[in-house]
């Protein structure tokens, strides 16, 4: 089991504020592969009776689910870890070609204090891979930057039919230990 070292007290509340920011942006659907970095946000989304939360078996399913939610009149967010971005590259052509909005929140691995060397290559390749397929990405390192970026990205995605990934820096999530 992965354990995370405690983050600074002010940082402990950012998933709750992020949840409210997503709801304020009209998000009523979320899909995710379980991830410790997104755990509190997932709990909040699942507990909300006005949000449909879908557990995925693999991250690329989330791209198709988000497209289907949009076609059904819903705004969706896809939550994943940076290693999952590699699983999505081919499927990301769907929102790009069909011009569906896409909002992804990606917890980064392979960065600050990474203990697992298997996470480093995809962590380094995440932003360049997204850029190569045409998905705009924003890397954030603080709760304040995250919240401001999510609000702006939701406008860009849903009002501008853009595909946006917000990369949440590993430092913000805290050091992981096995």
Q: What region, left, alpha or beta, does residue 37 occupy, with left being phi > 0 and alpha being psi -120 to 50 degrees?
A: alpha
Domain boundaries, the chain: 3-177
Q: Is the pTM of this model over 0.75?
A: yes
pLDDT, tens digit (0-9, with 9 covering 90-100), for 72-100: 999 999 999 999 999 999 999 999 999 99
Rounded to an integer, what distance in angstroms lies between the CA atom of residue 88 and that of residue 102? Answer: 13
pLDDT, tens digit (0-9, with 9 covering 90-100), for 22-58: 999 999 999 999 998 999 999 999 999 999 999 999 9
Residue 101 sits at φ, ψ, to 5 deg, of -70, 150
Let me know: does 83 contact 119? Beta carbons within 8 Å.
yes
CATH of 3-177, one of 3.40.50.970, 3.50.50.60, 1.10.150.530, 3.40.50.300: 3.40.50.970
pLDDT, tens digit (0-9, with 9 covering 90-100), for 145-164: 999 999 999 999 999 999 99
């Amino acid at each position: 089991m992965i354990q995370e070292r405690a983050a600074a007290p002010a940082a402990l509340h950012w998933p709750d504020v992020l949840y409210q920011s997503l709801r304020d942006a009209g998000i009523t659907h979320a899909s995710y592969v379980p991830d410790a970095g997104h755990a509190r946000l997932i709990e909040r989304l699942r507990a909300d009776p006005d949000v449909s939360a879908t557990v995925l078996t693999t991250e690329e399913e989330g791209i198709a689910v988000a497209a289907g939610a949009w076609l059904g009149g819903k705004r969706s967010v896809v939550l994943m870890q940076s290693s999952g971005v590699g699983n999505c590259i081919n499927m990301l052509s769907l929102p790009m070609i069909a011009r569906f909005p896409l909002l992804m929140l990606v917890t980064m691995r392979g960065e600050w204090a990474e203990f697992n060397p298997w996470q480093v290559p995809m962590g380094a390749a995440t932003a360049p891979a997204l850029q190569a397929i045409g998905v705009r990405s924003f890397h954030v390192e603080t709760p304040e930057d995250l919240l401001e970026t999510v609000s702006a990205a939701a406008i860009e995605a849903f009002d501008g039919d853009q595909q946006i990934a917000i990369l949440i820096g590993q430092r913000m999530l805290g050091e992981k230990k096995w």
